[in-house]
Chain A
Amino acid sequence: MDVSAILEAHKSKFKPVSVEGKVIPVEFDLGLLAAYDQNPLDEAELRKGKDAYLHDLARDNTQLLLNQVFQLPTVSDDAGVLAMLPAPTTPLPREKPLPKPKPETRWEKFAKAKGIVKRKKERMVFDEESGDYKPRWGYGGANDDGTKDWLIEVPSSADPMEDQYAARREAKKERVDKNKKRQQRNMEEAAVATKLDARAVKRGDRPNMDNVRAMKRREIENQILVSKAATASAGRFDKKMDGDLKPKGIRRQFAPTITDSGKEKSGNMDILNRIVGKGGEDLVNVRKAIKRTK
């Protein structure tokens, strides 16, 4: 049985879903639900009936766009049928720069060396004391570290009059303080490493934290040297002491004894020009110079 005639008749009852007459095929960016029609607009049509022409053009291109969207693979959800979109292809700018990677902490470094992997722990834990679930830590948390026990056995070595609750509280406080100190140290080291390994940070990598202690030491030494030189004579007439830090990496440069005569001449002329030539007046404080000669 030939059903093509029946199908044709059924189809002819509706308007078509295909669009003809596009010289350049329309491009799509389905990730943005966008259609880019490169065909220039018909000027004569535009002049004749602008709104009607634009409406027809928009309808045709929307039809083409939605034909593409409806052919995408779909999933069903309680929100209805969802089309799976590809990633957008049109490049658009970000609103903020890329996030900078956080420098490695000492623990992370250690964990990496030992092969310790972070495991997800559930937030609520069963507390046997109260018989219900409590947050692992934080407000109303389960880990009171024994500070809420109703009875504490006094250790045989301890002073019987000592408050064991206070001792436990104290111990916990010490642990917390120690951790805070370590956090602070991590932050300081990260700041130093970020400053000294700026190249890696600019590239978007983590700064090298391998010899942070040495870097930190050098940083402090430099600061000491700078502060020492901050006197009226720039440290020149200050008393030197044993074990004073010496500036590293400063080399005196000497011109060779025998050189090209032209080079020597031009160098000397440069100096002379700077003093007596144009702009030389600014170089010497005349008022001060006169005062000195008196």
Chain B
Amino acid sequence: MLRTITPRNARVKRFMQNREAKVEENVKSALFIRGSSTSQVVSDALADLYMLKKPNGVNFSKKNSIHPFEDHSTLDFFSQKNDASLCIVATHSKKRPHTLTFARMFEHQLMDMMEVHLENCKPMRDFKTPKSAIGMRPCFQFNGDMWDQHPQYKMFKSMLLDFYRGKTVDRVALAGLEYIISVSHGPLTAEGKPGKVYLRTYTIQLKKSGVKLPRIELEEMGPSMDMTFGRAEEAKPETWKEAMKVPRELKPKKKKNVSTDEMNNVVGRVHLGRQDFDKIQTRKMKGLKKRPAADEADSADKKQRVDDSNDDE
């Protein structure tokens, strides 16, 4: 366990406050960890993934004997110490060659994790092309029909988006869209298990097109990896539920009396206030005309008086 620190000055206090739970969270930072034995393939892949995550990543240069699927207490410890909620562990063994384990934490406790086995990797340095600047926000694309259907594909998609989404912002510089992470999956295997997944990274070039929108050309910048899925551990339902909660402040405000129908038309409901039937303009008819009550009483009175005078005479 880490010792608990009581802040003794304002700087430490601010630092501690920054680590506390917040409505709008910090960018998730990631740990890049080498297992007890690694191959050149996974080391290169790990280094490249770290380059893409910079500056919100911590690269562990020493080897650590970590087997996340057997015991994840070390990962939890690292997560708490570095205030990081994502991590990748690179390992290589005869049984599971060239393996990256993607793991996610909630409250510094392991939430979910999955293994991918790498094949046909080409690191960034083997592409002699211009690279994107460090810390740029990537675009994503997921090609294939299984990304929302198969649990493992779903998890990988969620994991990758979580790793590289960066800070949630409401505006982005159009000139800053420098690269795209493209993930595609091939057909399922004969047994219906996940097949190969292709991760490619391209720089985006905006070309003239004669119209307002630019013509896009891509150039591969690396890394390029083909992978298959290994073991996976899904999040516990209660942890997942807790993690997916959206704070009240960030929920979109409900617009009253405005809705959309099935045809995507915006339908508004307007309240007109209470109607006063006496003042409403209807068809005019002499019979329906209402005489003021006071007027009526007045005339009756007059009549009476006339009769009285007649009696006197």
Residue of B nearest to A204 (CB): B248
Min Cβ gap B216→A in Å is 4
Given A43-B187, A66-B177, A94 and B245 touching (CB < 8 A)?
yes
Residue of B nearest to A138 (CB): B10
Q: Which residues of A contact B215 (CB under 8 A)?
A: 14-17, 63
User: Are A69 and B21 touching (Cβ within 8 A)?
Assistant: no
Which of B38-46, B137-145, B282-290 faces chain A? B137-145
Which residues, 140 to 196 on B, are CB-close (under 8 Å) to A?
140-145, 147-148, 158, 161-162, 165, 168-177, 180, 182, 184-187
Q: Which residues of A contact B104 (CB under 8 A)?
A: 93
A88 lies within 8 A of chain B by Cβ: yes
A224 lies within 8 A of chain B by Cβ: no
Q: Which residues of A contact B140 (CB under 8 A)?
A: 32-35
Given A16-B215, A70-B174, A92 and B162 touching (CB < 8 A)?
yes
B100 lies within 8 A of chain A by Cβ: no
A84 lies within 8 A of chain B by Cβ: yes
Which of B61-69, B206-214, B303-311 faces chain A? B206-214
Min Cβ gap A153→B in Å is 37
User: Are A34 and B147 touching (Cβ within 8 A)?
Assistant: no
Q: Which residues of B contact A59 (CB under 8 A)?
A: 202, 216-218
Given A43-B187, A69-B177, A99-B23, A58 and B202 touching (CB < 8 A)?
yes
Q: Which residues of B contact A71 (CB under 8 A)?
A: 213
User: Are A65 and B139 touching (Cβ within 8 A)?
Assistant: yes
Which residues, 52 to 86 on A, are CB-close (under 8 Å) to B?
54-55, 57-59, 61-63, 65-67, 69-71, 74-75, 77, 79-85
Chain A 166-207: CB-based contact to B (< 8 A → 1; otherwise 0): 000000000000000000000000000000000000001000
Cα–Cα, bound, A92→B187 (Å): 26
Cα–Cα, bound, A71→B214 (Å): 11
Q: Which residues of A contact B244 (CB under 8 A)?
A: 91, 93-94
Q: Which residues of A contact B161 (CB under 8 A)?
A: 32, 34, 90, 92
- Say which residue of A57, A74, A87 sits within 8 Å of B174 (CB atoms): A74
- Say which residue of A54, A61, A82 sits within 8 Å of B198 (CB atoms): A54
Cα–Cα, bound, A95→B107 (Å): 6
User: Are B139 and A34 touching (Cβ within 8 A)?
Assistant: yes
User: Are B216 and A63 touching (Cβ within 8 A)?
Assistant: yes
Q: Which residues of A contact B162 (CB under 8 A)?
A: 92-93
Residue of A nearest to B239 (CB): A93
- Say which residue of A13, A40, A63, A100 sits within 8 Å of B145 (CB atoms): A40
B54 lies within 8 A of chain A by Cβ: no
Given A41-B144, A70-B212, A94-B106, A82 and B138 touching (CB < 8 A)?
no
Q: Which residues of A contact B85 (CB under 8 A)?
A: 95-96
Min Cβ gap B218→A in Å is 5
User: Are B106 and A93 touching (Cβ within 8 A)?
Assistant: yes
B71 lies within 8 A of chain A by Cβ: no
Q: Which residues of B contact A267 (CB under 8 A)?
A: none
Q: Which residues of B contact A100 (CB under 8 A)?
A: 21
Min Cβ gap A174→B in Å is 25
Cα–Cα, bound, A83→B176 (Å): 11
A50 lies within 8 A of chain B by Cβ: yes
User: Are A81 and B174 touching (Cβ within 8 A)?
Assistant: yes
List the count of A-B residue pairs having beta carbons below 8 Å apart: 205
User: Are A38 and B145 touching (Cβ within 8 A)?
Assistant: yes
A11 lies within 8 A of chain B by Cβ: yes
Q: Which residues of B contact A243 (CB under 8 A)?
A: none
Q: Which residues of A contact B170 (CB under 8 A)?
A: 84-85, 87
Name which of A35, A58, A87, A88 has the most chain B CB atoms within 10 A of its CB: A58
Q: Which residues of A contact B292 (CB under 8 A)?
A: none
Which residues, 237 to 293 on A, are CB-close (under 8 Å) to B?
none
Which residues, 26 to 56 on A, are CB-close (under 8 Å) to B?
31-41, 43, 46, 50-51, 54-55
Q: Which residues of B contact A51 (CB under 8 A)?
A: 220, 224
Chain A 4-29: CB-based contact to B (< 8 A → 1; otherwise 0): 00000011011111000000000000
Cα–Cα, bound, A154→B7 (Å): 42
B261 lies within 8 A of chain A by Cβ: no
User: Are A98 and B177 touching (Cβ within 8 A)?
Assistant: no
Q: Which residues of B contact A34 (CB under 8 A)?
A: 139-142, 161
A140 lies within 8 A of chain B by Cβ: no
Q: Which residues of B contact A31 (CB under 8 A)?
A: 168
Q: Which residues of A contact B158 (CB under 8 A)?
A: 90, 92-93
Q: Which residues of B contact A13 (CB under 8 A)?
A: 210
User: Are B210 and A11 touching (Cβ within 8 A)?
Assistant: yes
Cα–Cα, bound, A100→B141 (Å): 36
B234 lies within 8 A of chain A by Cβ: no
Q: Which residues of A contact B175 (CB under 8 A)?
A: 80-81
B278 lies within 8 A of chain A by Cβ: no
Cα–Cα, bound, A88→B242 (Å): 19
Cα–Cα, bound, A80→B173 (Å): 7
User: Are B243 and A94 touching (Cβ within 8 A)?
Assistant: yes
A160 lies within 8 A of chain B by Cβ: no
A97 lies within 8 A of chain B by Cβ: yes
Residue of A nearest to B198 (CB): A54
Give the 10 A-B residue pairs with the shortest CB-CB distance, closest first. A95-B85, A93-B243, A34-B140, A58-B182, A96-B21, A82-B171, A14-B210, A33-B139, A63-B216, A35-B141
Known: A58-B143, A62-B216. 13 other contacts (CB 8 A): A10-B210, A34-B161, A43-B187, A58-B180, A58-B218, A59-B217, A62-B202, A82-B172, A85-B169, A94-B25, A95-B85, A99-B20, A99-B247
